[in-house]
Structure 1
Amino acid sequence: MAALRPLLPPLLLLAWSCAGEDVEVLCSDSACYTLHRGESTWRSAQVRCQENGGNLSPVRSAAEATRLRQLLATARWAGPAWIGLALPRGHCVQPQEPLRGFSWVAGDERGNFSAWASEPADTCVSARCASLRPDGGWSDRACRSALPAFLCKFSFRGMCGMLPLAGRGSVSYSTPFGVRTARLAAAPFGTLAEVQCRGGGRSLFAVCKGVLDGGGFAWHPPGPLCPVDCGENDGGCQQLCLEAPGQPPRCACQPGFALAADMASCLPEDSCHPNPCQGSCRPLPAGFECGCEPGFALAADGRGCSDVDECESGPCEHRCRNTPGSFQCLCRPGYRPAGPAGRLCHDVDECAQPHACPQLCINIPGSFRCACRPGFQRQPGGDSCLDVDECLRDLCPGACRNFPGGYECLCPPGSVRDGDGRGCSPGEAILNSIPQSSGIPESSGIIPQSSSIPQSSSITPQSSSIPQSSSITPQSSSITPQSTSSIPGTPWTTSIPRTPGMPTAGLDEHSADGPRLLLYYIVGSLVAILLLLAFALALVACRKRAAKREKPPAKSAADNYCWVPEQPESRGERR
């Protein structure tokens, strides 16, 4: 049992990895990317990535986008695949941002790199998720829809290179994220390598783990595995098989070539290893050539890369903000991004929003302006509209009535209102049947009473039945007792000439003279009440004074006695 204990971790890792699925995998730097085939929604794909310790893959840089395109090309996959970019429900699309308001599920940091093939749907009420196309472009769709593939990313502390082999053999790698494959250029920390040497025999194992004294990661045991035997087919070496006294056989390469990672094959010497460039390196027969990612330019030394300020070329309609390797277009307030990559700016119609203005809204480029309908004016310092009292301008020849948004003229008796309601014109006589001898002018206004006066009645100014509040005076009446009694069977009417500045009887109570007439009534009523009160107080005082005068004088105690005449004293005789 003690002898088997050192072998338990490799055996357990092997058993665990055998249950993994065979998918396409690509490892580079400190991360591995996998392509999984199978119908799944965005949520179920994320759960499957998390079960193996990863997440749906982000695409935060042009280099990462290149690696994912390489993975799709290696797998010969021509369809879309889910990536870890999503817009939760309740969050709105932000057209001015590079990610359009979306965020990476592996972290909420918002990068500047974006590769939208088309603008995402403008929504705030439904969840949207992104997928990667074979050409590297992004597209959005409903998260609950199903796609035939998804991409995962697994991050590690470090990588081991290919396991070196001295002789011919095959290697199978079982990764910590459940993938078993023979095509692996770099193995992540914790990977188990199983080696089957040519010629049979038992399998050999190695594990990628950290070096004890630091300085990276390496295989344990370090290899090379599968010993070389130069006597049999040159030991499996591609070019040279060398045997030296006291040393094991080994493979070698001719000048101009270097031994590959399998320690048997030979490759042309690579001047780009290690990479002398800040960006990419391309080997040439006489050296190498450096390149930079999009958004960067090769420096003067031919090796470094410097950021390109794309804003200098004016790609944006309004404002431009340069970012490392890219740029971002911004719009002024009152505009929204539009066009490819949001480089154009369209005016926002604020008047399309409900309740933008109390009455009228006028959209202008970049803003809007509130206005009032005819008959109203804007309140100073605000957008509310107040009614204009046109009656204060003396627009009518007579009385005037104001109402919200307009006014109308009230015509005196004998006149008719114009068609526009803004003036009065003389009207025809109301009673054409009245004889000329009646003494009533044709142009005078006639006020019919509810009862007619008999022929035998005589009308005098004192017996007129018109109340005093009607503003009709005896002097202004054109009706005389003689002329009235001479019209048999005709209702009694009175011509009322209008005196300027005085309220006119029979006009609308809502006319311009209505408030003034009401004030007259109130003041008159108060004066009458005060007079009545003074009269009552004076009457009470007078009655008290009269009662005091009539009161009999009070009786005194002497009233109970009688006075007798005084008699002289009688002098008595002395005895």
Structure 2
Amino acid sequence: MMRVLFLMLSCFVAGRTDGVSTTCTAEACLTLHLEEKRFEKASEDCINNGGKLVTMRNENELQSIKSALLAAEKFNILNSKLWIGLVLQKRHCTDFTEELHGFRWTSEPRDSKYSNWKKKPLSTCTEKRCVSISLADGLKWSDGSCRDSAFYMCKFLFKGMCKPIVLEKQGDVKYNVPFLFKPLSPNERLAMFPHGTLAEIQCGGSEDAESFVTVCDDNNGLFGWTNLESLCARNKRCKNGGCDHLCFETAGAGVSCECHEGYYLMDDKVSCALRNNCENSPCESKCVPTASGFSCACAEGFHLAEDSVSCVDIDECQQRTCSEHRCHNTPGSYFCECNPGFRLVAGKCEDVDECTELRCQQGCLNSQGSFSCYCHAGYSSSLNDSGICVDIDECISRPCEDICFNTLGSFKCSCRENLIVAKNGISCVPDPTDKPQSTPSSDHREAFITKLNQLPVTFGPTTVYPPPLTNAKTDSSKRKESFLGSSWILVCVVGSVIPLTVIIVVMSVFVVYRWKRSSKAALKNATADNYCWVSSGLDKEVETKLTGSWLLVQQRN
């Protein structure tokens, strides 16, 4: 059982070359490493093998990476994250005025005008940030922590490439590329092999068969395999004889190769290369060699005219490139004129955050193309709406029970002697540090003052009503104020009663004195004959008649 598992594991590793998928083009080789590592470890692994983390400085490099990933689609990497060689070093700030937003490539050239961001990277100056891509996001760039783990892809540049070896009879070929420690698996069919690749050829397919070694090398600017004459003997039948295009079998001379029109036979006598059909071409801008000749192309910002030779400017402004902002077309390009509240960043209009420019005295809210100011609690905006905040005098609304002091943005309550501010910061309560005094309770005092207000004060023939006292409040926060007002009224009433009482006493003594004096005079006049009246005991009516008679007799006498 263990032997079966080992064999299955061996087949799996051989198909992926220890978790590595390799693709090569005419320019470079790419290796996709299906082992998640941190950014630093992935970059170090590429460098140790003679390469660098892949870059994406233009559309061609993007397409090369996309092709390499699609070739490894069987490994189910659609949603996998993949490091590329783009990084923001620590103590370097994000700069949104640049295409790369302050990031730099890990290989030369460090800068580029091409960018493919999925969204704006994190704005920071203190953290190292690294960039990753995935097929699910269309290879858009996303920044993240360099401590995260992801797959990675290395890029290897070489002087030239060789085509695969074609055997004329049964045999095996094992390729050892310079950047891998193990030979490629037979399942990995590369379109090109880099300079320095070692190929082991075994003819006949058996261990006793003849073996040869060949190397992809430079031969006066042309790259091909060495010792081609020592390869396995050719068959009697042509079977294309290893030729790229056409194979001809001649008597006694074996086979010979020829190329299609527009191509020429290279020095290895089997490979065909495209002739430079663009020499003296009529193309206005670019010429692209093809199998049948050439075709014309135009630079970015232009498109090919109907004559397939000339180039016509593309009016990007018709495509609403600048959105709602003004657009000015130029030959091969354009530029935007931003509305107020926006600024031009990397050819696009982005909102200006006015709140970072300290336009407001206190609070600030940014919006697209504008901003608004607001004031903190305890302040109000000035009348001219200049962003200045004015303090509100809260004491006008009398929030305190006793004394109020206005402060900047708030207020403070205070109390008179023997009282302190309560925990709510508004009411006044007795000071617990003062000694208690034997004074009437506030309820008795208020009841007494109420009755005193209801009773008139009468002095002689005049009734005087004291001025109304402050009504007692049931609210505990107003009892002190009511009591103090009533006490002052009571003092005024008592102060008025005492002088009036003295006057009444004096007047009473004076009236009694006058009355006694007038009584004595009347008595003296009435008893000139030394007689005095004695009550007769008669009733009032009889007494009155007798008195009248007596007076009549006196008059007659």
Q: TM-score, normalised to structure 1's length?
A: 0.50
* Secondary structure in 2 matching 1:239: strand
* One-letter code aligned to 1:59: M
Quick one: distance in 2 between partners of 1:362 and 1:236? 75
* One-letter code aligned to 2:23: V
Question: Where do 1:9-20 residues align within 5 Å?
Answer: none
C-alpha offsets along residues 285-332 of structure 1, whole Å, 9 cap, x if unaligned? 6x4434568765347884687885635633233477999999898977
Shift of 1:50: 1.7
C-alpha offsets along residues 246-304 of structure 1, whole Å, 9 cap, x if unaligned? xx75513377585777967687x96777797876847476x443456876534788468
* One-letter code aligned to 1:241: E
* One-letter code aligned to 1:239: C
Contact 1:63 1:293 (8 Å CA) reproduced: no
Contact 1:378 1:384 (8 Å CA) reproduced: yes
* One-letter code aligned to 2:114: F
* Aligned residue among 19, 23, 26 for 2:24: 26
Shift of 1:57: 0.6
Contact 2:362 2:374 (8 Å CA) reproduced: yes
Q: In 2 relative to 1, CA 329–52 (structure 1 residues): closer, same or farther, beyond 3 Å?
A: farther
Shift of 1:440: 7.8
* Secondary structure in 1 matching 2:64: helix
Contact 2:262 2:275 (8 Å CA) reproduced: no
CA RMSD across the alignment: 6.1
Equivalence for 1:205: 214
* Aligned residue among 38, 48, 51 for 2:48: 51
Q: In 2 relative to 1, CA 95–362 (structure 1 residues): closer, same or farther, beyond 3 Å?
A: closer
Q: In 2 relative to 1, CA 56–447 (structure 1 residues): closer, same or farther, beyond 3 Å?
A: same
Equivalence for 1:310: 316
* One-letter code aligned to 1:137: L
Contact 2:22 2:29 (8 Å CA) reproduced: no
Q: In 2 relative to 1, CA 300–452 (structure 1 residues): closer, same or farther, beyond 3 Å?
A: closer
Equivalence for 2:113: 112
Quick one: distance in 2 between partners of 1:231 and 1:358? 92
Quick one: distance in 1 between partners of 2:378 and 2:46? 66
Contact 2:24 2:193 (8 Å CA) reproduced: no
Q: Is 1:61 aligned to 2:58, yes or no?
A: yes
Question: Where do 1:166-565 residues align within 5 Å?
Answer: 172-178=174-180, 180-181=183-184, 183-194=189-200, 201-209=210-218, 211=220, 216=221, 218=223, 221=226, 224-226=228-230, 232-234=236-238, 237=241, 239-242=247-250, 251-253=256-258, 256=261, 281=288, 283=290, 287-291=293-297, 297-298=303-304, 302=308, 310-311=316-317, 313-317=319-323, 318=325, 350=355, 361=364, 365-369=369-373, 385=389, 387=391, 403-404=406-407, 431-433=453-455, 435=457, 437=459, 442=467, 482-483=499-500, 485=502
Question: Where do 1:86-165 residues align within 5 Å?
Answer: 86-87=87-88, 98-99=99-100, 102-106=103-107, 109-116=110-117, 118-119=118-119, 122=122, 124=124, 127=129, 129-133=131-135, 136-138=138-140, 140=142, 143-147=146-150, 149-156=151-158, 158-162=159-163
Higher helix share: 2
Quick one: distance in 1 between partners of 2:265 and 2:310? 28
* One-letter code aligned to 1:232: K
Quick one: distance in 1 between partners of 2:52 and 2:165? 31
* One-letter code aligned to 1:403: N
- Ranges in structure 2 where 5+ consecutive residues have no aligned partner: 1-16, 397-402, 412-449, 471-484, 506-557
Contact 1:166 1:224 (8 Å CA) reproduced: no
Shift of 1:92: 7.2
C-alpha offsets along residues 185-237 of structure 1, whole Å, 9 cap, x if unaligned? 555444445555679534143352485xxxx464585x654479788334963
Q: In 2 relative to 1, CA 327–61 (structure 1 residues): closer, same or farther, beyond 3 Å?
A: farther
* Secondary structure in 2 matching 1:53: coil
Higher relative contact order (CA 8 A, sep 6+): 1
Quick one: distance in 2 between partners of 1:301 and 1:74? 38
Q: TM-score, normalised to structure 2's length?
A: 0.51
C-alpha offsets along residues 98-142 of structure 1, whole Å, 9 cap, x if unaligned? 4455443335834333334x4367565684531231784225365
* Secondary structure in 1 matching 2:115: coil
Instruction: Determine what percentage of the aligned residue pairs are the same residue.
Output: 25
Q: In 2 relative to 1, CA 484–94 (structure 1 residues): closer, same or farther, beyond 3 Å?
A: farther
Equivalence for 1:84: 85
Q: In 2 relative to 1, CA 370–254 (structure 1 residues): closer, same or farther, beyond 3 Å?
A: closer
How many correspondences in the alignment?
404
Q: In 2 relative to 1, CA 362–249 (structure 1 residues): closer, same or farther, beyond 3 Å?
A: closer
C-alpha offsets along residues 363-414 of structure 1, whole Å, 9 cap, x if unaligned? 66523335587876769999664547899x9xxxxxx98834799xxxxxxx
Equivalence for 2:482: none
